[in-house]
Amino acid sequence: MPEPYDPLQPGDKEAIAPTGAGGPMDLAIEEAESLEKTLGDAPGPSGPGGKARSLWSDAWHQLRRNPVFVVSALLIAFLVVIAIWPQLIASGDPLKCDLSKSQEGSAPGHPFGYDTQGCDVYTRTVYGARASITVGVCATLGAALLGSLLGGLAGFFGGWGDATLSRVADIFFGIPVILGGLVFLSVVTSTTVWPVVGFIVLLGWPQIARIARGSVITAKQNDYVQAARALGAGNTRLLLRHVAPNAVAPVIVVATIALGTYIALEATLSFLGVGLRPPTVSWGIDISNAASQIRNAPHMLLWPAGALSITVLAFIMLGDAVRDALDPKLR
Amino acid sequence: MGRYVIRRLLQMIPVFIGSTFLIFIMVYALGDPVAALFGDKAPDPATAARIRKDLYLDRPLWEQYLHYMGQIFQGDFGTAFNGQPVTELMASAFPVTLRLTLVAITIEIVVGITLGVVSGLRRGRTIDTTLLVLTLVVISVPTFVTGYLLQYLLGVKWGWVRPTVSPDAPLNELILPGIVLALVSLAYVTRLSRTSIAENTKADYVRTAVAKGLPRRRVITRHLLRNSLIPVVTFIGTDIGALMGGAIVTERIFNIHGVGYQLYQGILRNNSPTVVGFVTILVIVFLLANLLVDLLYAVLDPRIRYA
Amino acid sequence: MRGATHARWAAGAVAVALAATACGGGSDSGGSGEAGIVSSSWGDPQNPLEPANTNEVQGGKVLDMVFRGLMRYDPETGEAQNMLAERIETQDSQNFTITLKEGWTFSNGEPVTAQSFVDAWNYGADVRNKQNNAPFFSDIVGYDDVHPASGDPTAKTMKGLVVKDARTFTVALDKKFSTWPDTLGYQAFSPLPKAFFTDHAAWLDKPVGNGPYTVDSYTKGTGMKLRRWDGYPGEDKAVNGGVDLKVYTDNNTAYTDLISGNLDLVDDIPAQQLKNVKNDLGDRYINQPALIMQTLTFPLYDPRWSKPGMEKVRRGISMAINRDEITRQIFRETRTPAKDWTSPALGEKGGFNPTLCGDACTYDPAAAKQLIQEGGGLPGGKVTLTSNVDTGSHRDWMDAVCNSINNALGEGPACTVNPVGTFADFRNQQSSYKLTGPFRSGWQADYPLIQNFLQPLYYTGASSNYGKFSDPQFDKLVDEANQEADPAQAVTKFQDAEKILAAQMPAIPLWYQNGSAGYAERLSDVALNQFSVPVYNRIKVS
């Protein structure tokens, strides 16, 4: 794998940071250039064999050896397989229900018992993975990408763009979820998961944008960013190489938790009659149905909520591993 | 500094107009509210027509909006369908919800940051793992269930607290609802501060502070925490919205007649004066809250300046 | 660092401003347990508490305590009995002379006269007052003058109402209506004091009526305190000291307050607690029939549902619904499987007939499948049920009905549900005839008469005939029944009309809805009337 030449990777920021803790660095251009040379020649602190690596390939290298990453990746792979081929581990039909067995506990062949409608909880939990994971992952990706892009740019450049974006976000914060859901999803009538995904992205991006904006505002004050700027690095390079990697941690943390809350939000929407509709099966629908029966049939809640927990756990672990890999200080 | 704040306050004007118009359109899109006033019976056409006329519902959307805005500038936010002025509803609902929000935010800040610091400093240890598991539980069990269970156990079974909140909603009765409301956000705050702390423990100023021989406590509070708080503060700023407008479930469970409850009623009944009025005030609250957050950035990180 | 200090101050100032608005709040305002006072759950009434403007249970509760009309329905039998009326006489079932009893006054001392009724009814009918219940006066001659279908009214009073003396007035109807006096127990026909017209706003803040209770205080959105009126001239005096109505955000919250001892009476047990109710309350739980009926109405304006042969399909769908199992498993017996289009709360004398629907309302999956095939199958092989899902457990029963139909047909998910987010949206779709599949129709009768279950719903062009059912024979029988002077004969005629519904199946009877309530140990003699409203004046507090 050819490694691009990267003279000033953020991994070296420790080398520069102690020089000053206040204003911008006062380096003459020549001095800076010579410094750049020296740094570029020096072996990266983590690069094995003395080869300089890009930040991202470094991170990938780091990730592959992290057991947390391996476990979470396997778990996610398993969930994806189940989402695509649920019949692999569940032979029943999630829509086949027998009301006479309403809320009964586990029975032979039905290890998780039955829900209010007398449907098999195990089969529904397995089949619910598809819709729930699609909603959770796609909505999180959408909101995180859109939010961090807009928020990152706003925080980095400031000025009118920042003001406009922040105020638009404020308006979005004000829209009550229920009102937005009722309007958006009653106008867009479709039985697929995509309107729900779109709605959650629409609602979720302002939060991520604000988090990203805040992180970028802090990160761009760092001395190594000022140094890179003084060295003549362009805005794109500054953002991608120096600011983004140091601002990404809070976004990852929020996004991984949001994945879980988005799946739960889908439940709220279903509960209001505007979310996913039968014959779609989802954890959200089952959790919201089970929630009101918690005193009567806790097993109805336990399994879909447990499946949701495991999914969120996998993504939180993944997020942690990615974040660790991106942070050279933690190596 | 002063100019910055003034500029931010001036930005509220377009936001105010934009959000009222947006919400107005949304409530309009929900459809005709009059039909639902008659219960199971069909509306009497002549009566319905007269109600529509009096509420300006028979005019085009833009005319309805201008009429509404004209009234607002005279201090008239319209009436809810039970004949109560919306300003009266707001006067009773906002103080209650603000108190509830304050309780929830206090819990988020105190408990969330403490737990975050503890697990950030003890990464990978038992306490960290335990908190991760608790986070998962909080995320995957709906508020309805946690709220109902806590209410049942603490309020009914063991009788430690009053299970529901009385109309005046004093602070002590709002503690349990505040905890329930704060739970999900608590998960965010804990994880965010854990990550920030973990990231910053290796930072040079912390090493320097330790090297100087400062006491551990002082290093954590003055050096580590302060520099780790920006994402947490940002999150709490964005969370005020979720707490104030979105407390519908919590307010229902604990019988709190606050903003979430009134908004929900307004939405179910397509009552645009109620919804637009409440949301407008909410948006102003977010504007102030986010201004506060932006100013806090400068407090927490002296390198950030506003001109 | 100067910038930072300023920022700190500014941040502090904003925080203080936010916090300042949050302060306020006062002391705890009592709880339950006040001697002789019943505390009871309440919901915010949808409309101002004018008698002719109140058409739902929560407002109706208050009116039932604060007002007494000409007639009153016996809380046990549902029979209409004279209250303020001494007698109501007619020769032709069209012109009525009403004579009032002596000695009745409003709680402010003003006597209840014939004028009190006539003024109230004219007010209720006048379109300018926008009263929801105005159509109740539409049988009276001159209604069109005060309530024209369009344009401004040409009169302020109805010609058909004439005051003879302080205790007598006459009513002329526009057509024969033999059971009209029995409708007068409805709250829209209550008398109103002069204060209602002279100082309307003050009256709304604290309604004054002639019932066994007076309004002590009313805080909108929070609650109402009602106290026994010691000077009440009627026989049904309150046996308790008063009633405190408390507004709850949710009936589950009210239930929690009941079992933790903060509330005496909950008149709507939440569905999810029905399983625990025996455990929590023992025999302090009431579950009894009310005048509420739930049906699935077919959109007969859509030719795919109304073309010849489809009556078999409609009947087949009805027979594919396992009502017994759904009412047992989903509703825990708080609904009763429907066997006709009325309600058991009418009593068999009033027109309830448990055999009228017969086989068509009995679960028989094999016969259902065969009937649907004979009728040409479901339109497009699919059927979609629509209901609002913002209240009740509509979502649960819709799923159960669909599962029942799908299991009976055995053709995969042929039946699906279409949940609608708000009642307003559902109502708009329904009244603009946009729905293309069966939809929920709930009907709570205004008075215990079989006429009220049939005419407004299935008569050609009737106000709540959302499916646009039309059958000349049905209309003819209803007309005849209304002209019948003998009540028993009238009921028989109505039942004949109802048999046409059984043959045509324009709406599938699902179940009768019961009233349910739970109460604290210190209460006794708690009962619900046919409208599922507690009979407050009879409740004893120990």
Q: What pLDDT, on the 0 to 100 scale, is given for residue A45?
A: 42
Enumerate residues 6+ apart whose C-beta is below 8 A from A248: A148, A215, A323, A326
Give the side-chain half-sphere CA count within 13 A for B211: 7
Angstrom distance (rounded) from CA A45 to CA A36: 16
A146 pLDDT above the threshold of 80: yes
Beta-bridge partners for C286: C517
- Cβ–Cβ of C389/A272 closer than 8 Å? yes
- Is the CB of B238 less than 8 angstroms away from the CB of A305? no
Q: Hey, is the C-beta of C378 within 8 angstroms of any chain B C-beta?
A: no
User: CB-side exposure of C29: number of CA atoms within 13 Å?
Assistant: 15
C127 contacts on B by Cβ (under 8 Å): 46-47, 50
Does C388 touch chain B if contact means CB atoms closer than 8 Å? no
Q: How far is A116 from chain C (nearest CA, A)?
A: 7
Q: How confident is the model at residue A41 (pLDDT cuts 50, 70, 90)?
A: very low
CB atoms within 10 A of CB C326: 25
Task: Output the domain CATH number for residue B206.
Answer: 1.10.3720.10
Ramachandran category for residue C494: left, alpha or beta (phi over 0 → left; psi -120 to 50 → alpha)? alpha
Whole-angstrom CA distances from B209 to A331, B222, B282, C135, C500 are 21, 10, 42, 82, 91
Q: C485: pLDDT confidence band, cut at 50, 70 and 90?
A: confident
User: C touches which chains (3+ CB pairs under 8 A)?
Assistant: A, B
Q: What is the pLDDT of residues C287-323, one digit of tens each?
A: 988 999 999 999 999 999 999 889 999 999 999 999 9
Spatial distance between the Cα atoms of A101 and B52, rounded to a whole number of angstroms: 49
- Strand, coil or helix: B116: helix
Asked if the structure places residue B152 within a domain, the reply is yes
Give the pLDDT mean for B139-162: 83
Q: Which two tokens stand for residue A120?
A: 């098999």
On the question of pLDDT at A31 being above 80, the answer is no
Task: For residues B281 and B193, state if they share a domain.
Answer: yes
Neighbours of chain B (3+ CB pairs under 8 A): A, C
How many beta-carbon contacts under 8 Å exist across A and B? Answer: 170
Query: What is the model's pLDDT at position A58?
Result: 79
Mean per-residue pLDDT, C487-504: 93
Tell me how many residue pairs between chain B and chain C have CB atoms under 8 A apart: 203
Query: Mean pLDDT across chain B, nearest whole number?
Result: 85
Q: By three-state DSSP, how is residue C292 classified?
A: strand
Claim to verify: residue B203 and residue B248 sit in the same structural domain: yes
> Could you read off the pLDDT of A207-264 as tens digits, one per residue?
899 899 988 988 888 888 888 888 888 888 888 878 888 788 889 888 988 888 888 7
Q: Are A210 and B238 a contacting pair at CB < 8 A?
A: yes
Structure letter (DSSP) for residue A43: P
What pairs with residue C111 in β-bridges? C105
Contacts 24+ apart (CB under 8 A), B147-150: B147/B177, B147/B180, B147/B249, B147/B250, B147/B253, B147/B254, B148/A294, B148/B253, B148/C252, B149/A294, B150/B176, B150/B179, B150/B180
Is-contact A16 A31, C-beta < 8 A? no
Distance from CA of B43 to the nearest CA of C (A): 8
Domain residue limits, chain A: 58-330
Mutation pick from C56, C131, C253 vs chain B, by most beta carbons of B within 10 Å, is C253
Considering only CA atoms, which of C404, C387, C394 is closest in space to residue C439? C387
0.80 surpassed by pTM: yes
pLDDT band per the 50, 70, 90 thresholds, residue A46: very low
In angstroms, what CA-CA distances link B114 with A78, A218, B122, C102? 35, 22, 12, 75
Residues B169 and B279 in one domain: yes
B73, B104, B122 — which closes off a domain? B73
Residue A28 scores a pLDDT above 50: no
Q: C131-147 burial, b for 16+ CB within 10 Å, e for fewer?
A: bbbbbbbebbbbbbbbb
Confidence (pLDDT) at C12: 56
Please report whether residue B79 resides in a domain. no
Smallest CA–CA distance, residue C23 to chain B, in Å, is 7
Reported as a pLDDT band with limits 50, 70 and 90, residue A15 is very low
> In the predicted model, what is the mean pLDDT of residues C436-465?
91
Please answer yes or no on whether A166 and B290 come within 8 Å at the CB atom.
Answer: yes
What are the tokens at C485?
């002077």
Percent with pLDDT over 70 in chain B: 99
How many residues does the structure list for chain C? 542
**Strand, coil or helix: A103:** coil
Q: Tell me, yes or no, whether B82 lies in a domain.
A: no
Same domain (yes/no): B220, B120 = yes
Reported ipTM exceeds the 0.90 cut: no
pLDDT for res C16:
52
The span from the CA of C414 to the CA of C402, in Å, is 8
- Place A74 in a pLDDT band, splitting at 50, 70 and 90: very high
Rounded to an integer, what distance in angstroms lies between the CA atom of residue B144 and that of residue C32?
A: 26
Residue of B nearest to C124 (CA): B47
- Structural domain boundaries enclosing B270: 90-300
Coil, helix or strand at residue C335 = strand
Given a cut of 50, whether residue C18 has pLDDT beyond it is no
Identify whether B78 is part of a domain.
no
| Span C470-488, average pLDDT | 91
B104: in domain? yes
pLDDT digit string (tens) for C360-387?
Answer: 999 999 999 999 999 989 998 899 999 9
Q: C439 near C385, Cβ under 8 Å?
A: yes
Quickly state the pLDDT bin for C8 (edges 50, 70, 90).
low
B52 and B190 co-located in one domain: no
User: What's the average model confidence in pLDDT over B134-159?
Assistant: 83
Report yes or no on B271 lying in a domain: yes
Per-residue confidence (pLDDT) for residue C392, from 0 to 100: 67
Residue B117 lies in a domain: yes
> How deeply is A2 buried, as exposed, middle or buried, from its count of CB atoms within 10 A (0-12, 13-18, 19+)?
exposed
> Are the C-beta atoms of residues B283 and A173 closer than 8 Å to each other?
yes
The DSSP code sequence of C96-134 is EEEEEPSS-B-TTS-B--HHHHHHHHHHHH-GGG--TTG
d(CA B136, CA B127) in angstroms, rounded, equals 14
Residue C30 has pLDDT above 70, yes or no: no
Instruction: State which of A42-51, A186-195, C7-16, C496-505 shows the largest mean pLDDT.
Output: C496-505
Low-confidence winner among A98-107, C82-91, C124-133, C160-169 (lowest mean pLDDT): A98-107
**Could you tell me where the beta strands, DSSP code E, fall in C10-69?**
37-42
C85-90 sheet: strands from edge to edge: C85-90, C95-100, C168-172, C161-165
B102: closest CA among B6, B244, B208?
Answer: B244
Taking alpha carbons only, the member of C457, C187, C443 closest to residue C338 is C443
> Residue C344 carries which side chain, given as an amino acid letter?
P
Q: Nearest Cα to C458, choosing from C429, C500, C511, C402?
A: C500
A35: confidence class by pLDDT, cuts 50, 70, 90: very low
Question: Domains in chain B: how many in total?
Answer: 2
**Amino acid symbol at C275:** K
**pLDDT confidence of C212, banded at 50, 70, 90?**
very high
User: Do B21 and B142 share a domain, yes or no?
Assistant: no
CB C100 within 8 A of CB C167: yes
| HEC assignment per residue over chain A | CCCCCCCCCHHHHHHHHHHCCCCCCCCCHHHHHHHHHHHHHCCCCCCHHHCCCCHHHHHHHHHHCCHHHHHHHHHHHHHHHHHHCHHHCCCCCCCCECHHHCCCCCECCECCCECCCCEEHHHHHHHHHHHHHHHHHHHHHHHHHHHHHHHHHHHHHCHHHHHHHHHHHHHHHHCCHHHHHHHHHHHCCCCCCHHHHHHHHHHHHHHHHHHHHHHHHHHCCCHHHHHHHHCCCCHHHHHHHHHHHHHHHHHHHHHHHHHHHHHHHHHHHHHHCCCCCCCCCCHHHHHHHHHCCCCCCHHHHHHHHHHHHHHHHHHHHHHHHHHHHHCHHHC
| d(CA A35, nearest CA chain C) in Å | 31
pLDDT computed for residue B61 by the predictor: 86
- Taken as a whole, chain B contains a residue count of 307
Q: How far is B201 from chain C (nearest CA, A)?
A: 24
Rounded-to-integer distance, Cα C435 and Cα C384, Å: 9
The vertex-B239 CA angle with B236 and B245, nearest 5°, equals 145
What's the CATH number for A58-330?
Answer: 1.10.3720.10
Confidence category of residue A40, pLDDT binned at 50, 70, 90: very low
- CA C92 from chain centre, in angstroms, equals 31
Residue B106: pLDDT band with limits 50, 70, 90: very high
B167 contact residues in C (CB cutoff 8 A): 29, 219, 222-223
Residue B303, min C-alpha distance to chain A (Å): 6
Closest-CA distance of chain C to residue B168, Å: 5
Which segment of A236-250, B187-201, C205-219, C293-307 scores lowest on mean pLDDT? Answer: A236-250
Choose between A263 and C509: higher pLDDT.
C509
Within a domain: residue B305? Answer: no
Question: Who wins on pLDDT, A28 or C494?
Answer: C494
Name every chain C residue with its beta carbon within 8 A of the beta carbon of A274.
419, 421
Would you place residue C150 in the very low, low, confident or very high pLDDT band (cuts 50, 70, 90)? confident
> What Rg, from alpha-carbon coordinates, does chain C have?
26
The pLDDT of residue B13 is 86
Mutate to test the interface with C, among B299, B301, B303, B305 (most CBs of C within 10 A): B299
Q: Are residues B174 and B231 in the same domain?
A: yes
pLDDT at A34: 39
Find chain A residues with C-beta within 8 A of C403's C-beta: 95, 97, 99, 117-118
Could you identify the residue written with the tokens 């299970």? B163
Same domain for B265 and B216: yes
Probe site for chain B from A71, A164, A173 (most B CB atoms < 10 A)? A173
Residue A42: predicted pLDDT: 39
pLDDT category of residue A33 using cuts at 50, 70 and 90: very low
User: Is B299 close to C149, i.e. CB distance below 8 A?
Assistant: no
Chain A CB contacts of C417 below 8 Å: 277-278
pLDDT value at residue C9: 57
How many residues in total does chain A contain? Answer: 331
For residue A3, what pLDDT is reported? 39
Question: B2 or C321, which is more confident?
Answer: C321
Are B165 and B270 members of one domain?
Answer: yes
Check if the beta carbon of residue C534 is closer than 8 Å to that of residue C527. Answer: yes
Q: How many CB atoms within 10 Å of residue C434?
A: 11
Which residue matches tokens 């509803």?
Answer: B89
Q: Is C219 helix (H, G, I), strand (E, B) or coil?
A: strand
pLDDT at A37: 39
**In this structure, are B59 and B26 located in the same domain?**
yes
Written as six digits, the tokens of B257 are 């007649």
Contacts of B197 in chain A (CB under 8 A): none
Beta bridge partners of C168: C99, C165
pLDDT at A16 over 60: no
- pLDDT confidence of residue C337: 95
Residues B215 and B295 in one domain: yes
For C338, the token pair is: 């429907």
Same-domain check for residues B237 and B264:
yes
Do residue C272 and residue A293 have CB atoms under 8 angstroms apart? yes
B209-222 pLDDT tens trace = 888 888 888 888 87
Partner residue opposite B166 with nearest CB, options C29, C132, C148: C29
Chain C residues with CB under 8 Å of B42 CB are 431, 456, 463-464, 466
pLDDT band at A39 (very low <50, low <70, confident <90, very high): very low
Q: Count chain A–chain C contacts defined by CB atoms under 8 A.
A: 71
pLDDT tens profile A290-324:
877 888 888 888 898 889 888 888 888 888 888 77
Q: Which of C322, C330, C420 sits opposite A273 (nearest CB)?
A: C420
pLDDT at C459 over 80: yes
Residue A100: list chain C partners with CB under 8 A.
325, 329
A183 contacts B30? CB cut-off 8 A: yes
pLDDT greater than 50 at residue A12: no
If you average pLDDT over residues B233-240, what whole number do you get? 85
Nearest Cβ partner of C14 from B40, B261, B292? B292
Query: Which of chain A's residues have a Cβ under 8 Å away from the Cβ of B283?
Result: 170-171, 173-174
